[in-house]
Structure formats: structure tokens, C-alpha cells
Chain A
Amino acid sequence: MSGLRIGWAAPWNMRSAIAQSAAEVAVELCRQGHSLTVLRTETGPALDLPPRPAPGAIRNLVDCSELELREAFDIVVAHIGDHAGFHGALPAAMQRVDMVGVFHDAFIANLAFGCLDGDAAALRAVLRQSYGEDSWPVGQTFLHDTADVARRRPMLEWLAQRTIGAVAHAKHYAARLGRVCLGPTAVIPLAFTVPDLPPSPAPWNRITIGVVGHANPNKRIDQLILAIGASPYLRSCCRIRVIGEASDDMRARLNQLAQTARILPLEITGWVTDDELRWQLRDVDIMSCLRNPVLEGASASLILALRSGRPTLVTWHGSYAEVPPHLVLGCSPEREAYDVMRHLENFHRAPALLLAMGRQAQDFAESHYSPATYSQALVSLLHKALSNRPRSAAKRRLTTTLTGFGLALEDAAVTRAHTALDELLSREGRIVS
């Protein structure tokens, strides 16, 4: 199999977790004999962030013409995430050039809102096609309530419909991609490595719970606080460390809650480098990957937690429920606090059992989330997408016509047209006697 010329459209800075994962796979693809050019997808100030090291040339996607993209590459892979600054160049380019989409997030409403400049008419036109007229009630702001937006207008289909192949990082949104993507789809577990993580600390009289990433409401830090505050065993010995940024409002709200629950004040580090992250993790006993709602396809934070060898709290849904259940500390969605309290008290009583679980999870993560495994599966999908390209193009034309009539992407007429095409092409080359 000869090497592919791949356009690797992704954010390429030190702040984006998607960039980190994409970089690891890029190295592996080059090692396998493919040539790769990084096409930076950032726009605005994010494009001024220093680039990561790359195994090939680095260009800005916004500077590449349609002709260049078509001629310079056998295929372009688009890394899609919910950050308009990091991925803002993608939507326009995906309208002009066929791309395979790697959907790091199952929810890209912020990207859509940013790229469409909050233009209500343009947003409504997209919504009409994918989610129906009532998915955005009149009088409501577009990003009104994250859980509601995730349920009614997650915008995944907005870009998925333009792709000639699609990757999901977990099963929970793969079917949705399959319904609208014009070509093959695959579930490939996210590749993510963080070398040299500090080992779990030996148990002592204090339990530190680490939360990695931006302190958004969906990280359920309030549930951690309530769990600790509700237990007389935990209240005096547990502390929460948020290794990431928090807005002033969020910081004030969490500290107020901690005070009310009479637990130790939270530690919030602000944005950290990889080295600082390792330092902050050194005395963390338990990782928290609570999420509600689940917005991401798969979670780099979860992989980090598993790779760190520490017992990990997860809300048992989305990609978090796709990890073997004996490797994580599952908590029921919407009532996480109760389960968190139970798990922490168990750790407080008998840490050895849960530390053993963490070590098992570490072994699982090292093989399951490796760049080598990822790139092999991705290349297989890219070849399928390439051979399927004429069919994808025909499907795109049919879909465009029908949606131009105002029909939804998943309308029965669209499905019928695609099925007719599939049936026709499945007989391709058959000799009729």
C-alpha cells in the first residue's frame, strides 16, 4: 500500500488538547510512510499562538485555495472540535473540498455560533435542515442552556453531512455520524499519551481529588463538593484541586459552595503547561472525570486519568460508559454526589482495592488509546473513503437538491435516494448474462 499525501487540518498550538492528540497521530502516520502537511485551522488571535513541532510542513488552512487542497493531497482530514477560535477555518473549507472528519466533539454548537457570526437567519437555516424548526424556540439565545442545546441542536450534523468519511471517538455518537456522513464511518478510540506521569502517591491521611481542564459547569465540581460536605469522614480530609482555568464567577461560586458545605477551600491552578500538570498531579489520589452533559466525543481528560493509574470517577454515560466498568468508579447521571460519596468513603476505608483498579485501568489505556492503533484504523478508513469518493459526490448532489427543497437531512426522500444509489453501485461491475 503506497503512502498517502494527507492534508492534516487541525489546530496546531500548545493549548489545544485536540492538537496534542492530532500531533501524536501525525507522527505515527509519517512513521508508517505517509506524507503529511499540517493545515492549521485556527482563526483570529489563536493563529498567533506558537505552533507545535510537526512531522511535515505547516500551513494555514485559510491561505490554501480549493485547487491547492485538491491537487496537493490525496485526502484531507479535518479535526473538528467545539472551539471557534481553534477550528474556525474548517466549516468554509469543508464546503469547498471533500474531507474526512474526525469528530472530537459530539457537540459543536459553539463552533457553529462562532463561525456563523451568531447570524440568526444562517443558524436557523442549518437548524431547519438538521433538527427542525422548533429546535431553537423564538426568544431564546442560541447557546441558552448547554444541556438543552446539546439535546436539541448539538450541530454535529451540520458538518458531518459534508464529510466523505467520519471518525467518532466513542460509540455514543457514531450512529448519528453514520446517518448523515456521505461515506464510511468508524469508531476509533482517541489516541492520547502523556508520558512521564507521576505515579499514584502512597495513601496517607489526606485525599486529593484532581479535576483536569477548564472549570465548566458540566464538570460537576459542585457534585464533588456536596459529596464531600455530606460525609463526616470526608469533610476534614478531602480537598479538590482544579488543574485548569476558572472564570472569576465560577471561582466565586465554587468557593461559596465549599464554604457552605464546610469543606476545605478549592485549589484552582489556572492554565498549566504539561510539566506543571505533572507536578500538580503528584499528590492527587483520585481523578474526577464527572461530566454532565457529555459534550465531547471522547475525553482526553479521561485517558489522562486512566493513564495516570489513579482511580477515576466518571459519570456513567456517553463515552465515559464505554470504558470497561471494572476500571472506573461509575456515578449515576444527575445524582453523582451520592455515588461520589460512596466511592470516596470506600477509598478512605480501603485504598488498596481502588489503587489496584487504577493500575488495571492504566494497562488498558496504554494499549487502547495508542497513536499506532489509531493511525492504522484511520488509514484503513481513508482508503475506504477514497474508493467511495464518486458515490459520496453523487450522494452529496442528491442531498443538496433535496435539502434545497427544504427537506431535512434525514428525510425519507434523502434516505430513498441514497439507498437507490447504493443499490445501483453495489451491482457495479457485475456481469449480467
Chain B
Amino acid sequence: MKILVISTMVPFVRGGAEELFDHLVRNLQATPGVEAEGFRIPFTWDPAERLLDEMLIARHLRLDHIDRVIALKFPAYLIPWPNKVLWLLHQYRQAYDLLDAGQSNIPADIRGQQIIAAIRAADNVAFSEAVRIHTNAPITSRRLLHYNKVGSSVLRPPLNDPELFLGGDSEGYILATGRINAGKRQHLLVRALRYAPYARLVVAGPPDTAADAARLRQLVREEGVESRVTLDLRFLPRTELAHLVNQALAVAYLPFDEDSLGYCTMEAFQAAKPVLSVTDAGGVLDIVRNGETGLVTMPDPEALGAALATLTANPGRAARLGRAGRAAMDAEALNWQATIEKLLA
């Protein structure tokens, strides 16, 4: 069976979706009787006007010699193919929920309305063509049902390399992993340090842009917390990342309305580390529960500072929360073999 996995790529931007893509292809290739390849089309979302061009290009790509396509993201899932399964990680959220939340890059004028209508019309065509639609999280399924009236089943992505996240003794720092950008809100953690004078923070991950990195460095200087913050702003090899997680006291992950559990969360729990998150983090909160598997606060520096202080002052409690997190992950029973079976069904 020949499987093509299709998705998008923003050159030199790498995050969870890219990890998932690579591991999906790799795990498909390791499946007996399956030949698999991955194909990613370049994607830029700015200016919004040109989204229409991106959609047109995707729609006109032609495939051949394939038994099944597994499509992950907008607009790659518009590529026509009769036997297409969607494992939906992303619609273009700025035409949907982020639009409603006032966080869209699409202009709020008549042209913007036309672009939004076009995106939704194209999505509906792609969804109607799919033989099956899985999503990566309940919130993605809810959104799909709400905006597109399309049903789907949730298929959470498993952790790609659980063997690296064995846990270990804490060295007392709070670790913030994942892509560095305004949406992931590492800046709130830096600001929170003024309310947690004994906490230490390590931020480790690739910035989306040079400006994102510069802003975070500037903030650390402005807050005068250079001695308590380590910024390792790059794409870390998996072993280095796992090492940092295994030695952390806790992992902080503050995305705005994340769809999925988030690799940062899963890696932390696999290593039995508690997760500090916020009340508007979306899908992350499906598994991070306040006082059970981590701490969940309001998304403001003061509340986050109090949580940082609590974890720093009570490493024993942090460890208990972390162990509960590991148990919650085990209960999800996420693994690649079961995932592949569902995608090939």
C-alpha cells in the first residue's frame, strides 16, 4: 500500500506539527506492507489576500501512483485525491475561531469577508471529499462541527520518542519548551519571576522569527532577571531537549487555545514532571488539571508567579503532581502502532 502524507511547511519554522509529520512518515515506513513518503508544500499566510493563491495552487497539484493520502494541514488537504484521509491538525484558524477571538490576520472589511468565505467553501469541499476525518484533539473536532457542520473522530498523536523521557532528579528549574513566539507566551513567565524570587527559568526552543528572540532577550534585561533566566533559543536536538526535561522541576506551557495536548505536555508527563499552564490554554487542559497533574492559573504574571513560587518551594509536591501526570499519559494509551492502524483503516 502506497501512502503519501501531505502537509505544509514554513521554511525554517519547526514545531510540533513538523515533528508529528516526520514521525508519522517514519512509523508508516516501518509498518509491514506499507510504502510511505511525505510531501510538504510551502505555505505563507501573509498577506491574507494571497491565501487564495495558496489554495488555488494546492487544488491544482496532481498526484499519481498512490493508494491513500493522509492530509494534515490547510491548505495541503485541498490537494485532490479520491482516497484521502484527513488527520486534521490545523484548519486556517484565523478564518474560524481566531477570527471570533479577534486574532485574525484577515482584514475586517468586505474583501476579508470574501477571503473567509472562500476559505470556508474550499474547506467544505475538501472535507466532503475525505473518506474519513480524524482530528488531533477534541477541541479541533468541536470546532469542525461548530463551523463546518462536519463530524470527526479524535485521534491524539502519540509521543514520538518516549524512551528519551525517562525522568530523573530535579535540578530545581522550571522549563519552558516549544516554539518561541507571542502566542506561546514565554514572556508571561519572564514577567512572573518578579513574584517568585527563588524560581529559576530555562526557556529552550526555536524562535519563529529573530524579532521573537530579540523581544524575549530585551524583556529579560528589562525585568532584571538575567541571573535567574537561561535562554537557549534554538532548535534543540531531541536528546538535549529530553535531558533538560528529565532534570526540570516542572515544565511550563502557556499556549493560547492550543488544539492538542501539546508535545511539551506529553514530554513532561512522560518524564513525570508536572505542567504549569493557564486557563485559556485549550486542549492542554484536557490532561493538565489544577492540583492533580500540574497547576493551572490565570494567564497573568502575578498568578503565574505564585504558581512558580509554589512549585519551587515544594519540590515534593511537584514530584507527586508529575507522577500523576505520567499516570494520566499512560491512561491515554497513545502509541504509534494503534494510531497507524486507525489511519489505514
Q: A398, B56: Cβ atoms under 8 Å?
A: yes
CB-based contact A407/B114 at 8 Å: yes
Q: Do A404 and B56 touch (CB < 8 A)? A: no
Interface residues of B in 49-87 (CB under 8 A from A): 49, 52-53, 55-56, 59-60
Q: Quick check: is B121 within 8 A (CB to CB) of the other chain? A: yes
Provide a sorted-by-A list of 23 A–B residue pairs whose CB atoms are within 8 angstroms.
A397-B60, A398-B56, A401-B56, A402-B52, A402-B118, A404-B121, A404-B125, A405-B55, A405-B119, A405-B121, A406-B117, A407-B52, A407-B114, A407-B118, A411-B52, A411-B114, A412-B49, A413-B49, A413-B53, A413-B56, A413-B118, A416-B53, A417-B56
**B122 CB within 8 Å of chain A:** yes
Contacts of B119 in A (CB 8 A): 405
List A residues 382-433 near B (Cβ within 8 Å): 397-398, 401-402, 404-407, 411-413, 416-417
Residue of B nearest to A417 (CB): B56
Known contacts A401-B56, A405-B121, A411-B52; can you find 14 more A-B pairs with CB under 8 A? Answer: A398-B56, A398-B60, A401-B60, A402-B52, A404-B122, A406-B114, A406-B118, A406-B121, A407-B118, A411-B114, A413-B49, A413-B52, A413-B118, A417-B53
B114 nearest in chain A by CB position: A407
A residues adjacent to B (C-beta < 8 A): 397-398, 401-402, 404-407, 411-413, 416-417
* Structural contact, B122 and A405, CB atoms closer than 8 A: yes
- Chain B residues, Cβ within 8 Å of A397: 60
A400's nearest neighbour on chain B, judged by CB, is B59
CA distance A411 to B110 in the complex (A): 12
Which residues on A sit within 8 Å (CB–CB) of B59?
A: 401
Closest Cβ of chain A: how far from B48's Cβ, in Å?
A: 12
A402 contacts B125, C-beta separation under 8 Å: no
Question: In whole angstroms, what is the CA distance A417 to B117 when docked?
Answer: 19
The CA-CA distance from A402 to B52 in the complex, in Å, is 8
Contacts of B53 in A (CB 8 A): 413, 416-417
Q: Look across to chain A and name the residue whose beta carbon is closest to the beta carbon of B57.
A: A417
Distance between A412 CB and nearest chain B CB, rounded to angstroms: 7
In angstroms, Cα B53 to Cα A397, docked, is 14
B residues 166-190 near A (Cβ < 8 Å) are none
Q: Which 6 pairs between the two chains have the least Cβ-Cβ distance?
A: A413-B52, A405-B118, A406-B121, A405-B121, A405-B122, A401-B59
In chain B, positions 113-146 with a C-beta closer than 8 Å to chain A are: 114, 117-119, 121-122, 125
* Complex-state Cα separation, A402 to B117, whole angstroms: 12
Residues of B within 8 A of A405 (CB): 52, 55, 117-119, 121-122
B50 to chain A, nearest CB (A): 9
Residues of chain A contacted by B125 (CB below 8 angstroms): 404
Distance from A279 Cβ to chain B, minimum over Cβ atoms (Å): 58
For A398, what are the chain B residues with a Cβ–Cβ distance below 8 Å? 56, 60
The answer for the CA separation of A398 and B57 in the assembled complex, in Å, is: 9
User: Closest residue of chain A to B123, judged by CB?
Assistant: A405
Q: Which B residues touch A404, using CB under 8 A?
A: 121-122, 125
State how many angstroms separate the Cβ of A406 from the closest Cβ of chain B: 4
For the complex, give the distance between the alpha carbons of A405 and B56 in Å.
9
Chain B positions within 8 Å of A411 at CB level: 52, 114
Report the bound CA distance from A369 to B203 in whole Å.
81
Instruction: Report A-chain residues with C-beta under 8 Å of the C-beta of B60.
Output: 397-398, 401
Least distance between A408 CB and chain B CB atoms (Å): 8
Which A residues lie within 8 Å of B114 (CB)?
406-407, 411
Question: In the complex, A116 Cα to B121 Cα: how many Å?
Answer: 24
From known contacts A407-B114, A411-B114, A412-B49, infer whether A402 and B121 are also in contact, taking CB-CB under 8 Å: no
Give the distance in Å from the alpha carbon of A397 to the alpha carbon of B61 in the complex: 12
In the docked arrangement, what's the CA distance between A132 and B74, Å? 27
A413 to B118, CA, bound (A): 11
* Assembly CA distance A64 to B5 (angstroms): 44
Q: Chain A nearest CB: distance from B32 CB in Å?
A: 38
A413–B114 alpha-carbon span in the complex (Å): 11
Residues of B contacting A413 in the complex (Cβ-Cβ under 8 angstroms): 49, 52-53, 56, 118
Bound Cα distance from A406 to B122, whole angstroms:
9
Q: Are B49 and A402 in contact (CB under 8 A)?
A: no
A405→B55 CA distance, assembly (Å): 9
Within 8 A of A (CB), among B82-127: 114, 117-119, 121-122, 125
A402 to B, closest residue via Cβ = B56
Shortest Cβ gap from A338 to chain B (Å): 42
> Measured between alpha carbons, how far is A412 from B48 in the docked complex, in Å?
13
Report the nearest B residue to A398, measured CB to CB: B56
Q: Once the chains are docked, how many angstroms separate the CA of A411 from the CA of B49? A: 11
Binary CB contact string for chain B from 31 to 58 against chain A (1 if under 8 A, 0 otherwise) = 0000000000000000001001101100
